[in-house]
Amino acid sequence: MGFVHRCQSTLVVAEHNNEVLTPITLNAITAASKLGGEVSCLVAGTNCAKVAEEISKVQGINKVLVAQHDSYKGGLPEELTPLILATQKQFSFTHICAGASAFGKNLLPRVAAKLDVSPISDIIEIKSPDTFVRTIYAGNALSTVKCNESVKVFTVRGTSFEAAATDGGSATSETVDASSSVGVSEWLEQNLTKSDRPELTSAKVVVSGGRGLKSGDNFKLLYDLADKLNAAVGASRAAVDAGYVPNDMQVGQTGKIVAPELYIAVGISGAIQHLAGMKDSKTIVAINKDPEAPIFKWLTMAWWRIFSRPSQR
């Protein structure tokens, strides 16, 4: 077993915006550290030296691999895949992982297909270097997967692993050759909605609204409450499908997975798909006029009706 551990080497693909590291990468680094062996982190971007320096201080990282090219702007999977394949060929990594965000879910299945291996998505536990645990049936069952592929490719559920410490590390840095542009797609621009609220997947407090709010205008009540609690605002799929809020606010099986210290569900019945995205929250509070709503089975506290101004209660 000791020999097996010495042979392990893992590549973590960093998610960032060329200035700041996305928090879920720290969770992926913790997961990679549990495999044993060396952990390297690939930072690919344009003018991303600041991110590379940040990662070099993270505990658990042995080496930071830096690749800079204009084609890596925006983290397009069509451009990053050849780089990851070339890096894998050069360093012979036994594992490749990233956070189970939109970035990781878009990129790593493509990498796995090119390597002709089966990827493992959204793992919540590592049993051994070749055995992983993931949820199935909307989180109602656990599946233990033994992977015999030559290279194990997987994404990591951020809420299932602690974030790696961002100081105390002393990783070396190495520049890797950036591949030329594939030319299949081109990054043009990104239009972001600026918010002073915390990012949904990393917030310590989340306030979510459902179809019971009746309209998008009523979400203003949740925004006011969230601002008082320094919380992020989420929504059920029903609220998103009804057009109350944009889909990047969706919490659930097909949305974002959250596990805050406090989760407040307002007007959410608690469909199994929504519960799959928030049931690991430390404390769950619901405000709902239906005492038979499924979400009450998961509660720490309940209010039986929706107040006109919950922020004042």
Give the angle 19-76-25 at the CA atoms, nearest 5°.
Answer: 50
User: Across the strands, what pairs with 154?
Assistant: 97, 120
Q: Does the annotation list 274 as a binding residue?
A: yes
- Residue 273 assigned as binding residue: yes
215 annotated binding-site participant: no
Structural element, H or E, at residue 240 = helix 237-241
3-state helix, strand, coil in the chain (%, to 5): 30, 25, 45
DSSP track, 89-140:
HHH--SEEEEESSHHHHHHHHHHHHHHT---EEEEEEEEETTEEEEEETTTT
251 is in an annotated binding site: yes
**Is 90 annotated for ligand binding?**
no
269 is in an annotated binding site: yes
Query: Structure tokens of 70?
Result: 């204009």
**212 three-state secondary structure:** helix
Q: Give the SS3 label for residue 266.
A: strand
* Cα distance from N-terminal residue to C-terminal residue, the chain: 57
84 annotated binding-site participant: no
Residue (of 257, 175, 172) closest to 208 by Cα position = 257
The answer to whether the annotation marks 288 as part of a ligand binding site is yes
For residue 75, CA distances in Å to 144, 177, 202, 248 come to: 31, 16, 21, 18
Instruction: Tell me if 5 is assigned to a ligand binding site.
Output: no
271 annotated to a ligand binding site: yes
* Residue 309 annotated in ligand binding: no
State yes or no: 136 annotated in a binding site.
no
Question: What token pair was written down for 193?
Answer: 């909605």
- Cα-only R_g, the chain: 21
Q: Is 102 annotated as a binding residue?
A: no
Per the annotation, does 37 bind a ligand? no
State which amino acid sits at residue 179.
S
Residue 240 assigned to a binding site: no
**Which residues belong to the annotated binding site for FAD?**
211, 236-237, 250-254, 267-274, 288
**Which residues belong to the annotated binding site?**
211, 236-237, 250-254, 267-274, 288
